Structure 1
Amino acid sequence: MARPSRDCPFDPATGHRFTAAGVPVCVHPERVGLPAAPYASEGLPLPWEIPPPAEAGEVPAWVRAVLDTAPPEACAGVLQQATQILLASDPTTDVTAVLRAALN
C-alpha cells in the first residue's frame, strides 16, 4: 500500500495529518470505504446522502454509485427512493429488473 503523501505531514502533537491549509485529512480513505473527497472541510454530502436524480433514466447509475459506499443501514432508504422515482415515472416499470440491471 502506498505511504501517506508528504503533502500532508504528520503532527505529533495531535496525532493527525494536515494539509498545508491546516485541514485534517484521512490518508487512507480506501480503508473506510469512501472515495477521497473533502467531505467535512467543504461540506460535501457523503456518497449515500447525494440527492436522488429527478429523471428515472438516471436512477440506475445513482443507485450503483450510492450503494457502492452506503453503510447497510442506508441501503433500504436508497432502494425506497429509487422505487418511488421509477414508479412515478412509469407505474408499470419492473423495478426489480431495473435495480438488478443497475447492480450487475
Structure 2
Amino acid sequence: MAEAFVRSDEHPACGICPSRRLPLGEFDVQDRPSDDCPFDPADGHRYTRSGVPVCVHPHKVGIPTGRYKSDGVPLTGELELPGDVAELESYLRGVLHSAAPGMLELLIEQAATEIPRAFPGVDVVTTLRRALG
C-alpha cells in the first residue's frame, strides 16, 4: 500500500481526513462539507456519491480543491506573485511554508520560471532560499 499523504501527528489535517490514510491523488478535496460528500456515520468519513473519499478542508492539508481521484485531475499549484518586489519574499514564505509536500516542488519550479518574468534582475535562488529559510 502507498504511504499516506499526511504522516505527522502535528499536521493540521483532521484526524478523520482521508489524507491521513491515503496517498495524494487517491482522494478528492472540496472547499467545505456539502451534500455532494455526505458524512458516513458507519466509519466517520465523507465520500462522494460514487464512494471516493473526500477532504473538506483544503487549507488544512495545503492542497487546492480538486477531483483528484474522481476525475484523475493532476495536482497543480498556481503562484500569484505580488506586484511589488518588496513583498516577494514574504509572499513566497507564506505560500511555500503552507504548501503540501506534493505541491512544494511544483511551486518552486513555477517560482523559478515566473520570478524572472515578473521581476527581471531578481536573484531567484537567493530569493527562494530566504523564503524557505
The TM-score with structure 1 as length reference comes to: 0.46
- TM-score under structure 2 length normalisation: 0.38
